[in-house]
Structure 1
Amino acid sequence: MSRRRRIAPVLAARRHRSATVLMGIVVLLLAAAWTAHHAVVAFKFDARTSSQLTIVWAVLFLVFILQTFMYHLERVPKLTPRTARQLADKHVAILVPVYNEDPGLLKKGLESFLNQTRMPDSVHIVDDGSKNSDYADVRAWWAQAARQAKVATTWQRVPNGGKRHAQAHAVRVSPDAQIYITCDSDSCFAPSAVEQILIPFIRPRVQAVAGIVVALNIRANLLVRITDLWFVVCQLVDRSGQSAVGAVMVNSGPLAAYRAEIIRDNLGSYLNETFRGRPVMFSDDSLLTLYAQSRGLTVQQPSAICFTAMPEKWSHFSRMYLRWMRGSTIRSIWRARYLPVNRPAYWLHAMRWLQMILTQMVTVWILIVQPVVFGNVPPATMLAIPFLIGYAQGLRYLSIIRSDERIRYQFATWLMMPLAIIMAWTHLRFLRWYGIFTCGRTGWGTRQNGAEVSLDAADAAPAPAVIPYVKSVDPMDESTLQIPQIRQQSVSPY
């Protein structure tokens, strides 16, 4: 367990669009293009190798330009009086699965639900058989706070069955919900998160909306800062490009929203997904996103922001990323199998694999084959290309304004982009390929021995104990659930 620290009691964030950031991106991309041209000219190849590599470079360049063009096309819908009236009548339920979470982080997240500009109609917490706490104090405080805020709530403690089963218990006790917001037990919503994530649903074709996730424990250490930089940039580059065509492929676990029927209609297959005969217990957000893609558009709302605890140790971070890569591999197989070829998500998925394979080939050829086999050492200017491109895309990190960070600290984090790139090209690349080849290992891998990130107890002291107000629940029988589409074999939870 990590050392404890204080985090500001009120967390808020907003996104802004800046012409300065846009111009900085353009300038850095032009510098990267010039550097690439200079490096290719200076690099001595034979005629055949040069022509072959030119084709690969051209394909990578076109893919990169398309990606850059797409993420600048993302349009963020605004809240208008008419939109607010149309969304006001929708029953919004938040699903909160809890397993071995730090009580302080759990309480902080629940508090954020009651500080929303648009209050949720109900919040449903499911303690999935936690071993480190029964959360009695937090539960008592929450029952009183939710009642005072007039937010309907349930709190269940069930035998451990995994995150998906915990979410299912919450779904079964919220039959009136029209929009489900999924989150993690350490999610802390910015005050306008619920209001903002609902706005895209004004379009009937939108089935799921992803929020933006930033690090709650940003000041913990260097690893958290680099992770936050890398993660935020990925959301505002890769996912923004996907959102521009309504094809977000993976929603964020800490904050995402779905039309209720997406989850209800697929609950059976969601609980019973298997891969190579084994139950799949991770990659739940990407599976829900895949269900949504089969019915309509999946988009991102960059103005809906959530704070979450990022890993503070390399071991924790590596297990988390390895789980993501294994889940990503399984989900890629499902996309290729189930997504229609006329959907943008199908081709974006194919383009991502093409880009990854070509990038790996070019890297091995330039840094290993050419120097070792042919004695051609690449010019030093070639090493500057990924850093210039990274700095250009990383400027979007500065578009998120946080209440707990001064802009100069965010700028200092942006300057660490070379560290994030080195991490991505070494440690993360190894974990990516290792995850691809070991995707049959479907266990969760983290939080088995308790919370790995904690909040200062002084910041999380619960209110005096009161008699809890918790709605009693009779779980529905599994046999009453509809089981459509993907994987219908019953499995036992891990």
Structure 2
Amino acid sequence: MRRSEFLDALSLNSLKNKDYVVIAATLFFMIMSVFAFVNFQADIEKIHFERMTTWWGVTISYIALTLLVLQLSFLAYLLFLYVKYKAVKAVSNEQLPTCTVIVPAYNEGKLVYETLLSLADSDYPHEKLQILSIDDGSKDDTWQWMLRAKAILGNRLTIYQQPKNMGKRHALYLGFKEGTGDVFVTVDSDSIVKEDTLRNLVSPFAVHAKCGAVAGNVRVLNKEKGLIPKMLNVSFVFSFEFVRSAQSAIGSVLCTPGALAAYRKDAVMNCLEDWMNQTFMGQPSDIGEDRAMTNMILKQGKHVLFQKNALVYTNIPEKYKSLYKMFIRWERSNVRENIMMSQFAFTKFRKESTIGPRILLVMQWVKVIMAYPLLLLLLFFVVTHPVLFVCTSLAGIFVFSSIQMFFYAKKYNISEAFLAYTYSVFYLFTLFWITPYAIATASRRGWLTRDLPAV
């Protein structure tokens, strides 16, 4: 099967019989929880009345009501921005700027070969496209696969090999220093692009002078290999095609993903050394390079956009252990970069309105600040009212996850859309601890994934 046909097929229903069983079980328990929630209404009112007779009960109730109103208002705001969003149409060859694509690789094996070939097959003008790939001291056969790609692509591909593993930021830094294009594109080495991806991703730079960076649209490449990738694919669609579309409408996408992002060269050079030498609590930063670069470009007054039509398909963890490690890394980065963004977001960092970016940042902080109170509240109800907790939680998931479910169903297919419920239940009962743990360990270093299996 040709690459384009394979990638197009990823938008189709990939559920297997066992996946339908899991979805059916999820829906069954949620529907039963809704009925139980109704039947427990008298008990819920009694508990609420007893709680309202204490100062802490009143406090919890008002905080919960405030958070609910805040979240609903924020969702309405995002919906308003989403309706306004429009992706930039692809421009002609003459309008396209010169482009350097940088692919850092570590213990990636054959997939880096596929990544490089997919980039070379792009419909971007060859004379305007430079492809660089850096092997960051891999311990497997990544370098051999890069050499194979070089043998096929010749002068169209330049490859480098770091003498030892120095981290993704160092590999990207080398690419930024060696790149000659007016626009830098970074692509993860486990990601495949479509033929029109680079053209669509880079086009905003040709029509928007204030555009400093562009985020690509990330989908899951290995979604047929397990339930976790399938669930994450549904979650990614909402996170990118709804949330980042809304952020893009105000030129304030908070994170350009490592899987696919583009940066104006001048904007990168303005902050490159600060980015390379960034520290957190006295330690060099070796995670969150994408969010950090985004912050530094926003700080310059540049706009950061999202291109829904610039698709990249990337591998994500298939096992629980690898998944929670990835989430811990992401959440640690969020804590660090929220602090960094707070240092400039409440100043007049650009001529246009800064209200939108501030709203986005405040909602990021609400999640962080409320992580421990909500965790304690969750544990309290698990201990004191376990049945009621399960019923109310599942009923709540049924209501709020329906937003993601309908969004995915409208965009792609209704069968996979029901995984929005399954993922929410999975997250609540197995990943609820990620944010509190990441906050407590925000200063820790380490990528956590990409290590070779122990022999």
Q: CA deviation at 1:267?
A: 1.8
Letter in 2 for 1:447: R
Q: Residues 371 and 435 of structure 2 are in contact (CA less than 8 Å); yes or no, is this contact kept in structure 1?
A: no
- Within a 5 Å distance, the mapping from 1:75-86 to structure 2 comes to 75-79=85-89, 83-84=91-92
Which of 154, 160, 175 is 1:170 aligned to?
175
Tell me the SS of whatever aligns to 1:96: strand
**Who is 2:346 aligned against?**
340
* Separation (CA, whole Å) in 1 of partners of 2:334 and 2:291: 8
Q: Letter of the aligned partner of 1:417 in structure 2?
A: A
Residue 199 of structure 2 is aligned to residue 195 of structure 1: yes
Partner residue in 2 for 1:477? none
Distance (whole Å) between structure 1 residues aligned to residue 108 and residue 390 of structure 2: 50
Measure how far apart 1:355 and its partner are: 4.5
**2:98–2:183: 8 Å Cα contact kept in structure 1?**
yes
Asked if the contact 1:211/1:302 (under 8 Å) is kept, the reply is yes
Residue identity opposite 2:341 in structure 1: R
1:158 aligns with 2:162: yes
Structure 2 contact 81–247 (Cα < 8 Å) conserved:
no
Residue 437 of structure 2 is matched in structure 1 by 434
* Residue pair 1:187, 1:254 contacting (<8 A) in 2 also: yes
1:92 matched to 2:92: no
Change (3 A) 1:338 1:86: farther
Name the structure 2 match of 1:419.
422
Partner of 1:31: none
Which residue in the other structure is 2:363 paired with? Answer: 351
Task: Give the Cα–Cα distance (whole angstroms) in 1 for the partners of residues 168 and 134 of structure 2.
Answer: 9
Name which of structure 1's ranges 430-439 and 195-204 shifts more when overlaid on structure 2.
Answer: 195-204
Of 108, 116, 120, the match for 1:114: 120
**2:184 aligned partner, one-letter code:** Y
More helix by share: 2
Using a 3 Å threshold, how does the CA distance of structure 1 residues 450 and 181 change in structure 2: closer, same or farther?
A: farther
Does the 8 Å contact 2:327/2:434 carry over to 1?
Answer: yes
Match of 1:242 among 247, 258, 274: 247
**Residue 171 of structure 1: how far off its partner (Å):** 1.8
SS in 2 for 1:447: coil
For the residues of structure 1 that align with 2:362 and 2:191, how far apart are their CA atoms? 32
Moved more, 119-128 or 301-310: 119-128
Match of 1:26 in 2: none
Does 138-147 or 327-336 show the bigger shift? Answer: 138-147
> d(CA) in 1 for partners of 2:200 and 2:45?
50
Q: Partners in 1 of 2:238 and 2:287 — Cα distance?
A: 23
> TM-score, with normalisation over the residues of structure 1?
0.74
The structure showing larger relative contact order (alpha-carbon pairs under 8 Å, at least 6 residues apart) is 1
CA distance, structure 2, for counterparts of residue 248 and residue 137 of structure 1: 34
Structure 1 pair 14–367 and aligned structure 2 pair: CA distance change class (3 A)? same
* Cα distance, 1:178 vs structure 2: 0.9
Whether contact under 8 Å (1:91, 1:179) holds in the other structure is: yes
Question: 2:444 is matched by which residue type in structure 1?
Answer: R
**Match of 1:79, SS?**
coil
Aligned: 1:233 with 2:247: no
Q: 1:399 to 1:124 in 2, by over 3 A?
A: farther
Deviation track 1:445-483 (CA, whole Å, cap 9, x = no partner) reads 2213279xxxxxxxxxxxxxxxxxxxxxxxxxxxxxxxx
Query: 1 CA distance for matches of 2:175 and 2:296?
Result: 19
1:182 paired to 2:182: no
- Worse overlay, 350-359 or 39-48: 39-48
Alpha-carbon distance in structure 2 between the residues aligned to 1:310 and 1:200:
28
Q: Output the amino acid matched with 1:390.
A: S
Which runs of no fewer than 5 residues in structure 2 stay unpaired? Answer: 12-33, 349-353
Task: From the superposition, tell whether residues 137 and 254 of structure 1 become closer, same or farther in structure 2 (CA, over 3 Å).
Answer: closer
Identify the residue that residue 20 of structure 2 maps to in structure 1. none
| Alignment check: 8 A CA contact 1:124 1:153 kept | yes
Q: Which runs of 5+ in 1 are unaligned?
A: 1-5, 17-33, 402-406, 452-494
The number of aligned residues is 411
Give, in whole Å, the separation in 1 of the partners of 2:347 and 2:429.
33
Q: Given the alignment, which residue of 361, 372, 396 partners 2:407?
A: 396
Q: CA deviation at 1:236?
A: 2.7
Give the one of 27, 30, 43 matched to 2:45. 43
Residue 209 of structure 1 aligns with which residue? 214
The corresponding residue for 2:308 is 302
Distance (whole Å) between structure 1 residues aligned to residue 228 and residue 382 of structure 2: 33
Describe the shift of the 1:14–1:223 C-alpha distance in structure 2 as closer, same or farther (beyond 3 A). closer
Distance 1:216 1:72, change over 3 A: farther
